[in-house]
Amino acid sequence: MPAQTNIPERLYLKVYTRKGIIFDEEVKSVTSYNDTGKFDVLQMHTQFISKIKQSISIDKVDGSNIVYPVGDAIMRVKGEQVEVFLGIKTA
């Protein structure tokens, strides 16, 4: 019998604006766009940081979906934590 690993099947997302946190929940996945195209973030995603654009689509644990428009934003994935910083001014 193969060994079982205790990998948490969780992904936590926080979305920040200059005024504060507008989303802070456990989610199934997050989808967005960067200069190379559309990408998904799921549990056990590799760590990365990227400028994102267009929108972020959030698949919630309850099966619903939320879409936030994105102008200039940054996404950071570290472990099971995903952070999106909206309203970032870039040159």
Domain spans of the chain, in order of start: 12-86
Beta strands in the chain (DSSP E): 12-17, 20-34, 37-41, 48-60, 65-78, 81-86
| pLDDT score of 44 | 77
Q: In terms of CATH architecture, what is 12-86?
A: Sandwich (2.60)
Mean pLDDT throughout 51-70? 95
| pLDDT score of 71 | 85
Closest CA to 50 of 42, 40, 60: 40
At which residue do the structure tokens 């926080």 appear?
14
Query: What confidence tens digit (pLDDT) does each residue in 6-53 have?
Result: 555 679 999 999 999 999 999 999 999 999 999 999 887 789 999 999
At which residue do the structure tokens 């590799």 appear?
46
Closest CA to 34 of 56, 62, 58, 13: 56
